[in-house]
Structure 1
Amino acid sequence: MQGFAQQVVLSGILRDASTGETLIGAVVSTDNNVYATSTNAYGFFSLTLPAGRYKIQLSYVGYETKVEDLELSSNRRLNSELKPLDNVLDEVVVSAKKKDGNVRDAQMGAFNMTMEEIKNVPILFGEKDLLKTIQLLPGVQSGGEGSANFYVRGGGSDQNLILLDEATVYNASHLLGFFSTFNSDAIKDVQLYKGGIPAQFGGRISSVLDIAMLDGNQKRFAAEGGIGLIASRLKIEAPIVKDKSSFMLSGRRTYADMFLKLSNDEDINKSKLYFYDLNAKLNFKLNDRNTLYLSGYFGKDDLGYSDLFSFDWGNATATVRWNHIFNDKLFSNTSLIYSDFTYNVQVSSDDTDFTIASKILNYDLKQDFSYYASNNSTIRFGLNALRQSIQPASLSASQSTNVNSISVDTRQGIDLAAYISHEWKPFDRLSLIYGLRINDFMVMGPGTFYDFDAEGEALGETYYGTRVAKHYFNLEPRFSASYLLSEKSSVKASYNRIAQNLHQLTNTTSSLPTDQYVVSSLNIKPQIANQAAVGYFRNFMDDGYEFSMEAYYKYMQNQIDFRNGADLQANRFLEGELLFGIGRAYGLEWYVRKNVGKLTGWISYTLAKSERQFDGIDGGDWFRARQDRTHDLSVVGMYALSKSWTLGTTFVFNTGNAVTFPSGKYEVDGKSMFYYTERNGYRMPNYYRLDLSATYEPQKPNKRFHSSWTFGVYNAYNRRNAYIIDFRDSETTPNATEAYQVALFGIIPSVTWNFKF
């Protein structure tokens, strides 16, 4: 009987034959598909099967399927390479790598994509932009016109964990949100989790965006870049030792500031307006069992007007990772991670000269194991130790100014976590992922901690030295399940509980670099979310069409808002300005996608509600969260007009954000003052926009050098969507108040020349 046959393990790493890049999510199966598995985030796979002769199929989207004829009588290592297809149409596919993985996999509320797969989606200024593309998915909302900021399932922007090679990135945007932090040329793979978040992730209650950088070409020197209207980029990669080690270096800079030099106005001529970012990575294959990776990101924005005002902010990250294969079933990844976010605001005039500065500094140690017990059973477990230090905004003033310096204590915390999860397929129709994460957050000294009364006034203070001031201990269960109704349809369910100990203090819908961050303290408790979701998934026409519908409910504890008139900058009593309450978000998400043919793309629609409740706001009644939007629709289409031309279009519509407008006014010393009643009781106008693009790729016999032109039109019918609505006294009608609207963008054409060799 086969069940008593000798069991052997086939394991190895799959790579791209042209570059040596590891392939994430590639499928390894027998020719009859009885035994199958997929590669992990580092290209490693482990397949257990009875001894015998097999035709092993190695497949990956966009690559030639490779078949290995193997006689397996004992455990065997198979490291192989797949060749990219030369005739792949330029189509957009946002999915798991397995054609029917959206139906069969237990994981729900997740999307996977590569930069190649999103290159034809029209984006502002013609730049490929990861963060703006994920805003076109169900359950993910844009932070506003042109913004890289995003919200997931009714949560706040600070509730999204953004990882770049495992390092946390804060305020992931350039030029106040018009560009995202991530240079698409340097990115290999992206995984978004918005429900059923795996146990290895923690620290944010809404979503995880896990981004992997390219390792570097191990075969040959290669370069790639692009020249646009306001920014250019260049990436180079090459082997250090062929098939053993390589590097990747990618940079990008905007030159919008150079146009300022053309002005005859001296103040404008001396102003600054630019950003740059740099991605770097090295990898060394020490032997068949050990690989070492070193990666880093450095980015900075610098804005300023003459000598009067300057504002700069930036991220820096560094990751050292060691992959070790203990045996054919046990895989290990050890990571040392550094992350730094800073901003500085400087104001200088005749009687004012001061600087406001803030900094977040992380040191992180992670140890992850994957044990492939069988084809139907994988156990993941690990440990995580994070030391976090936050210097809140402090004000430093020169002695000659009339502004007083204000120093605010640095806050520190240590976050310890351990997790275990089990991915298990007990029988053919049922797949499960369940696990537990245990989290202990320690509020650390040294520092002075304050007590506050119900009105936010400081009552007293306590000084803690270099020791633990308080523990916050949380258990975080995770569960996902998929049940096949047929070969092409399934129902799924998930539940997760997550604690978050980092809090962003913002009173706008668009996250700004100057927004304050605080860690959990004696007054601020960890945010906790419990989210449950159910869904129906169905594929049609040989997986060429996909349909899904998900419903979710999320209950959030220890949410933060502000007292009216709160002072957020350089305030040592900042915690007294805060109010604490609860939140809930619920909705339905529909997703339809076409994968085949000349016309590809997707339609996503979300019907949702997001609310908050605070005793100190609106008498304790429920009110809309700022990011509450009833309707959110995205339509994305790509059409392969010919081998040289690909057309793209995006249409978006969403209900306007909830806002607080004045309900009346009164007069003080001849000046009109507004007063406000219900929080977020009004809405901005509905938002909609159409974007178009066309990509031309000349078909030349010279395959070594390749170039393309991308032409785009953002906001094609010049819709003046409201960015800000404010109020003022009417200049024509005495004692009347009028509203006025500020629109950020009209129609914006763009052109970018891309090249690679």
Structure 2
Amino acid sequence: MRKLIPLFIFLLSVLGAQAQKRVTISGTITAGAKAEGVESATILVGNTGAVSNRNGYYSISLPKGNYQIRFSAVGLQATSVQVSLKADTVINIALQADDKSLDEVTIFANSNRRSLESPQMGVEKLSVKQMNKIPVFMGERDVLKTIQLLPGIKSAGDGNSGLYVRGGAADQNLILLDDAPIYNASHVFGFFSTFNSDAIKDLAVYKGGMPAQYGGRLSSVIDVKMNDGDNRDFHVAGGIGLISSRLNVEGPLQKGRSSFLVSGRRTYVDAFLRLSGDSSINRNTIYFYDINAKITYDLGKKDKLYFSLYNGSDRLGITNNFIVNWGNTASTLRWSHNYSNRLFANTSLIYSNYDYNIQVQQGVNDVNLFSQIRDFNIKHELQWYLYPDHELRIGVNAIHHTVRPGEVTASDRSSYNNTILQRRYSWENAAYISDNWKISNKLNLNYGARLTAFSILGAGDFFNINSAGQVIDTLSYSGGQVVKTYLNLEPRLAASYQLNSQSSVKLSYARNVQNLHLISNSTTATPTDKWIASTNIVKPEIADQFSLGYYRDLSAGKYELTLETYYKNMQNQIDYRDGADVLNGQNNIESQLLFGKGRAYGLEMQLKKQTGPITGWISYTLSKTEKQINGINNNQWYDARQDRTHEIAVVGMYQISPKWQLSASWTYYTGNAVSFPSGKYTVNDRVYFYYTERNGYRMPAYHRLDIGATKKLKQTKKYSSELTLSLYNAYGRENPYTIEFETADNDPNRTVVNQTTLFRFVPSVAYNFKF
């Protein structure tokens, strides 16, 4: 490694010397009147191109001469500029909305040239404006519900939070809101996401070969960006639905230099419950709220400051006997600075907190359960447009984690004992570097590496545990003392080769490491699942993913075909022991866990129609996900809970007229793998169910049709309004939420199977406005 470093520095110096012979065009691309930076805008000069970063900044170095530069972005009118390049030049561009193209393009339309050339695999980028055509649930447009219609991204099911991406578990997705991690991105047990569409600008989903700047999760990154706010004019937007309403206000603090945005949303089911004359109903509570806020300030030509804040909370209460609260708080302070026209920097201070609290009051048996995960994070990143064919990204970040896995406290008169799983503290540090290299007009390469160091810190007791789960030794550490450090190198490589102007092939390899783990022993994911950090016993999870893809534009870009296949090898996978007791009266959870390996592989296909009055796509995923852990399933491979063989999504949008649009989506997937009893036996007149295989059975197949319609009521330069109608689960499929086995009350030899279904025929209507 020491021999490679001087060589790498020499190569950089050679490239830097060549760059000095050229001059640079740089600037910022913004979106029309709001002057928000446009990420992933394309800048094309002949056969040379570049893409703007998250702030809309771009840079291209070229020999002196005369050029025509074309600037374009999804949903915005392209524009061209003629320039005589003699010295470094700054060109700032404001692209205007292209209303016509928005009516004709699917929500995932992107620059076809860019998608064919880019070495990045398994990535989808979309804006909130482009999601407005998808049928909504309860009048709420939802970014996470939309991406579940993509191949390789699976819903955890009705009433479940989380996503399954390429065989990964729900905790193996890194969900970011303006760089702050969101540990539970759902409201009402997964029926709504934490992302209010009024406050969101765009998002990117990486499900294969994620870039080196992302880390900490095995399966995917969902990178969500908030709106910056308008620094020139005030705007108000909102919506009124059957169970929730929302309001968004934005405008300048100092015209042309600074802006603010405040967006709020709340459900009011609890208000309807209070109208009931039945005391058993009007004493119940169910609601959620979330608030987004952002301030943007121009400090000068080279500096910009951003502060964003999110707070959201859910409350579910059954009278005063059972109350559940959970929620997220996240904030980011980011300073962007241009050191030169080819060197750009972002420095961020990030805070994130997720917790839940359960209160149970049963006479003298009053019990309170609390869990929390809290992060403090600092991140610094440089983007260096070193040469027209090389874009370097170099960064470091450090995160301090505090994890409280679970604390059960009971009243003095309660029959329950207090159980407190120890708090765990850790430092997660990383450094990364990547280079986007355009080798030729046909061959593009992105390569890099991420080095992570996860240090487990005291104070606390740490254990050695034998194969039976018994503690055989205890070591005590004082506050701040380093218990153990896991050091891992994560190489990343992606390449694309353009076969012709209509098609390309891509391949990628990525290693990812995860040190925070979500532990669940239920058949459904819930807010009360436990986060734990790596310890001396719980090792970091590691995944190596290989991907290969073929991409083709058909009929002059009217259609787009995508085929991707992947294989993922996973180490240090975690599962509960058979008969695990989570709250076992001990101060550790490691004694209830076992560790082994996993594998996931599959094929993803998608065909999109991108133009015309009828647009949409069909996606299909064929996949397999398995684990092999000694001590479970007789040490044999078994299906992971998120394993699904088949998944299909069909999405269609029909623009009937300028005022009316219809939409529909149909989804189907194989039922999740579950552990059902294989038999039962009786001991001392008590019936016990007998389990043989782990996840050896299947839930029934899931399928659902959603339909929607949108009518534009009024459209002027200063005011617009629309009415959205939708029907969730249009043919009333009784998809199971849970299936439980019970012994019949009047016959102990007979078993009763009870299925719970959450929703059938859910209509909704919402009125949306903006001025």
TM-score tier after normalising by the smaller chain length = over 0.9
Distance change (3 Å), C-alpha of 1:611 and 1:91: farther
Q: Is the 8 A contact 2:311 2:328 kept in 1?
A: yes
DSSP 3-state at the match of 1:126? coil
Amino acid at match of 2:304: T
Alpha-carbon distance in 1 for matches of 2:227, 2:538: 39
Match of 2:87 among 74, 77, 85: 74
Amino acid at match of 1:129: D
Where in structure 2 are the equivalents of 1:305-344 lying within 5 Å?
305-344=318-357
Structure 1 equivalent of residue 177 of structure 2: 164
1:21 is displaced (CA, Å) by 1.1
Distance change (3 Å), C-alpha of 1:503 and 1:181: same
Alpha-carbon distance in 2 for matches of 1:644, 1:96: 22
Are 2:75 and 1:62 equivalent residues in the alignment? yes
Structure 1 equivalent of residue 226 of structure 2: 213
Alpha-carbon distance in 2 for matches of 1:41, 1:96: 19
Structure 2 equivalent of residue 182 of structure 1: 195
Alpha-carbon distance in 2 for matches of 1:402, 1:472: 41
Alpha-carbon distance in 1 for matches of 2:611, 2:693: 50
Are 2:31 and 1:16 equivalent residues in the alignment? yes
Structure 1 equivalent of residue 497 of structure 2: 483
Structure 2 equivalent of residue 547 of structure 1: 561
Match of 2:213 among 168, 192, 200: 200
Match of 1:582 among 597, 604, 607: 597
Structure 2 equivalent of residue 620 of structure 1: 635
Q: Is the 8 A contact 1:92 1:638 kept in 2?
A: no
Greater Cα offset, 667-676 or 135-144: 667-676
Alpha-carbon distance in 1 for matches of 2:746, 2:423: 51
Structure 2 equivalent of residue 228 of structure 1: 241
Q: Is the 8 A contact 1:90 1:646 kept in 2?
A: no
Structure 1 length-normalised TM:
0.97
1:597 is displaced (CA, Å) by 0.6
Alpha-carbon distance in 1 for matches of 2:111, 2:531: 39
1:739 is displaced (CA, Å) by 2.1
Structure 2 equivalent of residue 124 of structure 1: 137
Q: Is the 8 A contact 1:643 1:699 kept in 2?
A: no
Amino acid at match of 2:564: E
For residues 394-444 of structure 1, give each alpha carbon's deviation from its aligned partner in whole angstroms, at most 9, with x where no partner exists. 112222323222233210110111011010011111100000100110010
Where in structure 2 are the equivalents of 1:213-292 lying within 5 Å?
213-292=226-305
Amino acid at match of 1:380: R
Amino acid at match of 2:323: S
Structure 1 equivalent of residue 62 of structure 2: 49
Structure 1 equivalent of residue 722 of structure 2: 708
Structure 2 equivalent of residue 508 of structure 1: 522
1:633 is displaced (CA, Å) by 0.3
Match of 2:128 among 115, 129, 143: 115
Distance change (3 Å), C-alpha of 1:400 and 1:148: closer
Are 2:392 and 1:374 equivalent residues in the alignment? no
Q: Is the 8 A contact 1:91 1:120 kept in 2?
A: no
Structure 1 equivalent of residue 409 of structure 2: 396
DSSP 3-state at the match of 1:176? helix
Where in structure 2 are the equivalents of 1:489-568 lying within 5 Å?
489-568=503-582
Alpha-carbon distance in 2 for matches of 1:707, 1:82: 24
Distance change (3 Å), C-alpha of 1:276 and 1:5: closer
Are 2:401 and 1:384 equivalent residues in the alignment? no
For residues 471-495 of structure 1, give each alpha carbon's deviation from its aligned partner in whole angstroms, at most 9, with x where no partner exists. 1000100000001111111111000
DSSP 3-state at the match of 2:87? coil
Amino acid at match of 1:720: E
Are 2:474 and 1:461 equivalent residues in the alignment? yes
1:4 is displaced (CA, Å) by 11
DSSP 3-state at the match of 2:158? coil
Amino acid at match of 2:318: Y
Structure 1 equivalent of residue 699 of structure 2: 684
1:524 is displaced (CA, Å) by 0.4
Q: Is the 8 A contact 2:625 2:642 kept in 1?
A: yes
Distance change (3 Å), C-alpha of 1:403 and 1:699: closer
Are 2:716 and 1:737 equivalent residues in the alignment? no
1:731 is displaced (CA, Å) by 5.8
Alpha-carbon distance in 2 for matches of 1:506, 1:116: 36
Alpha-carbon distance in 2 for matches of 1:732, 1:354: 33
Cα RMSD, aligned residues only: 1.6
Amino acid at match of 2:663: G
Greater Cα offset, 567-576 or 352-361: 567-576
1:243 is displaced (CA, Å) by 1.8
Amino acid at match of 1:714: Y
Alpha-carbon distance in 1 for matches of 2:156, 2:740: 19
Match of 1:149 among 152, 162, 184: 162
Distance change (3 Å), C-alpha of 1:423 and 1:606: same
1:126 is displaced (CA, Å) by 2.7
1:359 is displaced (CA, Å) by 1.1
DSSP 3-state at the match of 1:46? strand
Structure 2 equivalent of residue 606 of structure 1: 621
Distance change (3 Å), C-alpha of 1:5 and 1:163: closer
Alpha-carbon distance in 1 for matches of 2:727, 2:377: 43
DSSP 3-state at the match of 2:439? strand
Are 2:360 and 1:351 equivalent residues in the alignment? no
DSSP 3-state at the match of 2:77? coil
Aligned residues: percent identity?
A: 46
DSSP 3-state at the match of 1:566? coil
Structure 2 equivalent of residue 429 of structure 1: 442
DSSP 3-state at the match of 2:84? strand
Distance change (3 Å), C-alpha of 1:349 and 1:147: closer
For residues 593-645 of structure 1, give each alpha carbon's deviation from its aligned partner in whole angstroms, at most 9, with x where no partner exists. 11111111111100000000011011111000011100000001111010000
Alpha-carbon distance in 2 for matches of 1:554, 1:648: 35
DSSP 3-state at the match of 2:575? strand
Structure 1 equivalent of residue 14 of structure 2: none
Q: Is the 8 A contact 2:578 2:632 kept in 1?
A: no
Alpha-carbon distance in 2 for matches of 1:272, 1:722: 25
Q: Is the 8 A contact 2:19 2:387 kept in 1?
A: no
Are 2:418 and 1:408 equivalent residues in the alignment? no
Alpha-carbon distance in 2 for matches of 1:148, 1:355: 23
Alpha-carbon distance in 1 for matches of 2:115, 2:32: 27
Alpha-carbon distance in 2 for matches of 1:248, 1:541: 42
For residues 310-364 of structure 1, give each alpha carbon's deviation from its aligned partner in whole angstroms, at most 9, with x where no partner exists. 1101100110001101111111000100000111111123211121111111000
Distance change (3 Å), C-alpha of 1:4 and 1:78: closer
Amino acid at match of 1:506: S
Amino acid at match of 1:559: Q
Q: Is the 8 A contact 1:105 1:431 kept in 2?
A: yes
For residues 651-683 of structure 1, give each alpha carbon's deviation from its aligned partner in whole angstroms, at most 9, with x where no partner exists. 101111111111000113323211100111111
Distance change (3 Å), C-alpha of 1:92 and 1:527: farther
1:177 is displaced (CA, Å) by 1.0
1:541 is displaced (CA, Å) by 2.4
